[in-house]
Structure 1
Amino acid sequence: MPIAHRNYVDGEWVESRSGDTFEVLNPANTDEVVAEFQSSTTEDAEAAIEAAVAAEDEWASTPGPKRGTILEEAAQRLEAQKDELTETLTREEGKTLDEAGGEVQRAIDIFRYYAQKASDLGGTVKSSSGTDTTLYTKREPLGTVGLITPWNYPIAIPAWKLAPALAAGNTAVLKPASAAPTVAWKLIEALDDAGLPAGVANFVAGSGSAVGAPLTDHEGVDAVSFTGSTAVGTAVARDATDDLKRVQCEMGGKNPTVVMPSADVDEAVDIVGAGAFGVTGQACTACSRAIVHEDVYDEFVAGITDYAESIEIAPGVENADMGPHVTNSELEGTLEYVEIAAEEDGATLETGGERLTDGQYDDGYFVEPTVFSDVTNDMRIAQEEVFGPVLAVLRVGSFEEGLEVANDIDYGLSASIVTQDLAEANEFAETVEAGVAKVNEKTTGLELHVPFGGYKDSSTDTYREQGDAGLDFFTSTKTVYMNY
Structure 2
Amino acid sequence: MRGRTVALTRRICSTALVSDLLDSAPPACGRASAPRAAPPALLRCAGRGPAPLPPAAPPAAARPAARNPASRGRSQVHPATAIQHRRRAQLRQPRRTRLGRPNPRFQVDGLQNLTQLEVFNAAGFALQGAAASAVAASSSGRCLCLNHNGSVQGSWTASANWNWIVDPLNGEKFIKVAEVQGTEIKPFVESLSTCPKHGLHNPLKAPERYLMYGDISAKAAHMLGQPAVSDFFAKLIQRVSPKSYQQALAEVQVSQKFLENFCGDQVRFLARSFAVPGNHLGQRSNGYRWPYGPVAIITPFNFPLEIPLLQVMGALYMGNKPVLKVDSKVSVVMEQMLRLLHDCGLPAEDMDFLNSDGITMNKLLLEANPKMTLFTGSSRVAEKLAADLNGRIKLEDAGFDWKILGPDVQEVDYIAWVCDQDAYACSGQKCSAQSVLFMHKNWSSSGLIEKMKKLSERRKLEDLTIGPVLTVTTEAMTEHMNNLLKIRGSKVLFGGEPLENHSIPKIYGALKPTAVFVPLDEILKSGNFELVTKEIFGPFQVVTEYSDDQLELVLEACERMNAHLTAAVVSNDPLFLQDVLGRSVNGTTYAGIRARTTGAPQNHW
TM over 0.5, yes or no? yes
1:47 match: 187
1:234 match: 383
Q: Structure 1 residues 22, 32: CA separation in 2 closer, same or farther (over 3 Å shift)? A: closer
Could you say what secondary structure the match of 2:165 adopts? strand
Structure 1 residue 403 displacement after superposition: 2.6
Structure 1 residue 449 displacement after superposition: 9.1
Q: 1:114, 1:167 within 8 Å by CA — same for their partners in 2? A: no
Identity %: 22
- Matching residue's letter, 1:29: N
Q: Structure 1 residues 420, 118: CA separation in 2 closer, same or farther (over 3 Å shift)? A: closer
- Matching residue's letter, 2:239: R
Larger mean CA deviation between 36-45 and 435-444 belongs to 36-45
CA distance in 1, matches of 2:555, 2:574: 15
Structure 1 residue 308 displacement after superposition: 5.1
Matched, 1:414 2:558: no
Structure 1 residue 298 displacement after superposition: 5.9
Matched, 1:10 2:153: yes
Aligned counterpart for 1:98 among listed residues 226, 233, 246: 246
Q: 2:473, 2:510 within 8 Å by CA — same for their partners in 1? A: no
Any idea what the Cα deviations from partners look like across 1:93-144, whole Å, max 9, x if unmatched?
0111100111112222223334453221131122121213454222221111
Structure 1 residue 330 displacement after superposition: 4.5
Q: Structure 1 residues 90, 218: CA separation in 2 closer, same or farther (over 3 Å shift)? A: same
Structure 1 residue 332 displacement after superposition: 4.2
Q: 2:419, 2:452 within 8 Å by CA — same for their partners in 1? A: no
**What TM-score does the superposition give when structure 2 sets the normalisation length?**
0.67
CA distance in 2, matches of 1:123, 1:227: 28
2:102 match: none
Larger mean CA deviation between 433-442 and 331-340 belongs to 331-340
1:158 match: 308
Q: Structure 1 residues 49, 79: CA separation in 2 closer, same or farther (over 3 Å shift)? A: farther
Q: Which has the larger radius of gyration?
A: 2
CA distance in 2, matches of 1:415, 1:24: 34
Q: Structure 1 residues 359, 271: CA separation in 2 closer, same or farther (over 3 Å shift)? A: closer
CA distance in 2, matches of 1:78, 1:345: 52
CA distance in 1, matches of 2:358, 2:176: 17
Larger mean CA deviation between 377-386 and 330-339 belongs to 330-339
Could you say what secondary structure the match of 1:284 adopts? coil
Structure 1 residue 355 displacement after superposition: 1.7
Gaps of 5+ in 2: 1-142
Greater strand proportion: 1
Could you say what secondary structure the match of 1:119 adopts? helix
Matched, 1:306 2:458: no
Any idea what the Cα deviations from partners look like across 1:287-306, whole Å, max 9, x if unmatched?
01011123333655632552
Q: Structure 1 residues 214, 338: CA separation in 2 closer, same or farther (over 3 Å shift)? A: same
Q: 1:27, 1:365 within 8 Å by CA — same for their partners in 2? A: no
Matched, 1:443 2:590: no
Could you say what secondary structure the match of 1:412 adopts? coil
Gaps of 5+ in 1: 451-484
2:554 match: 402
Q: 1:9, 1:203 within 8 Å by CA — same for their partners in 2? A: yes
**What TM-score does the superposition give when structure 1 sets the normalisation length?**
0.83
Q: Structure 1 residues 137, 295: CA separation in 2 closer, same or farther (over 3 Å shift)? A: closer
Aligned counterpart for 1:84 among listed residues 222, 225, 232: 232
Could you say what secondary structure the match of 1:59 adopts? coil
Structure 1 residue 165 displacement after superposition: 0.2
Matched, 1:267 2:421: no
Q: Structure 1 residues 325, 283: CA separation in 2 closer, same or farther (over 3 Å shift)? A: same
Any idea what the Cα deviations from partners look like across 1:265-298, whole Å, max 9, x if unmatched?
4433222221111111111111010111233336
Q: 1:280, 1:324 within 8 Å by CA — same for their partners in 2? A: yes
Larger mean CA deviation between 342-351 and 364-373 belongs to 342-351
Q: How many residues align?
A: 439
1:275-286 equivalent positions in 2, closer than 5 A: 275-286=422-433
Could you say what secondary structure the match of 1:126 adopts? strand
Q: Structure 1 residues 397, 185: CA separation in 2 closer, same or farther (over 3 Å shift)? A: same
Q: 1:27, 1:326 within 8 Å by CA — same for their partners in 2? A: yes
Aligned counterpart for 2:319 among listed residues 169, 185, 193: 169
Matched, 1:30 2:171: yes
CA distance in 2, matches of 1:188, 1:341: 44
2:478 match: 335
RMSD of aligned Cα (Å): 2.6
